[in-house]
Amino acid sequence: MNILVLGKGKTGSLVAEIARKRGHNVHAVGSADNAGGAAVQANALINTNVVIDFTTPHAILSNIEACARAGASMVVGTTGWYDQMDHVREVVKRYDIGFVFGANFSIGVNLFFDVMRAAAPALKLGYSGQMLERHHAQKKDKPSGTALAINNILRDASGMTVEIESVREGNIVGDHELRLESENDVVFLSHSAKSRRGFAEGAVKVAEWIQYKRGFYDFKDVWRELR
């Protein structure tokens, strides 16, 4: 299929590389190529099956709206826009596109999310919780979208959230750790990404999955269907 990758940073570039290796036609653009939304206008997206967005929080909403108007389905790995979730859901419905978003497209992280759901009841049984997330120094959002997703999972499963400590240093791909402590013991649950490859592979696989579908999806609800 024909894929447009918005964002030529480390993750976007890896997504483009993996998509090409999986046999897709890929066009990747950076912010300079998308000035004024040039890359997401209807005439520019005529032959595009899916747009994969790894840009920035300040650009993502305009990208979503432009792609939706053009009828292009999307996979969005950019975070920092979730306070506009209801608006985006309505845009997706209005223009009848396929749309998948995810705080993290790594299969391992989504397994970790399931572990968080299983652990959440401890917060109602006398355990206190604290989360530590560490990422590279260039990461703009703080806390990470993955950390916020974990807190949402904990809240949904227990009615409680935990304090998040964010660290930005070096070239750390992404570490997330939840500490649960009671008077009797301490439980540590953690996930550490060795590279961005798992994240990028997940984004390409879900783009393949969404190309013939319509509707608004969270990656955590669909990753088991990927091939």
What is the extent of the structural domain holding 156?
Answer: 107-192
Reported as a single tens digit per residue, the pLDDT across 138-150 is 887 899 989 999 9
Q: Which of 135, 191, 205, 220 is catalytic?
A: 135
Q: What is residue 89's predicted lDDT score, i.e. its pLDDT?
A: 98
Catalytic residue, candidates 10, 27, 93, 139? 139
Do 85 and 152 lie in one domain? The reply is no
Residue 5 pLDDT exceeds 90: yes
> When comparing pLDDT for 220 and 119, which is higher?
119
pLDDT computed for residue 187 by the predictor? 98
State the total domains in the chain: 2
Q: Is 135 a catalytic residue?
A: yes
106: pLDDT confidence band, cut at 50, 70 and 90?
Answer: very high
Whether 139 sits among the annotated catalytic residues: the reply is yes
Q: What is the CATH number of the domain that holds 34?
A: 3.40.50.720
Q: What is the pLDDT of residue 33?
A: 87
Residues with Cβ within 8 Å of residue 161, at least 6 apart in sequence:
151, 154, 155
174/120 same-domain check: yes
Q: Supply the CATH number for residue 143's domain.
A: 3.30.360.10
* Sign of the torsion angle spanned by Cα atoms 173, 110, 132, 150: positive
Please tell me the predicted confidence (pLDDT) of residue 145.
86
Cα–Cα distance, 84 to 61 (Å, whole number): 8
Same domain, 56 and 118: no
- Per the prediction, the chain carries an average pLDDT of 95
pLDDT in tens, 133-182: 999 998 878 999 899 999 999 999 999 999 999 999 999 999 999 999 99
Q: What is the pTM of this model?
A: 0.86
Distance CA 48, CA 51 (A): 7
How many CB atoms sit inside 10 A of residue 224's CB?
8
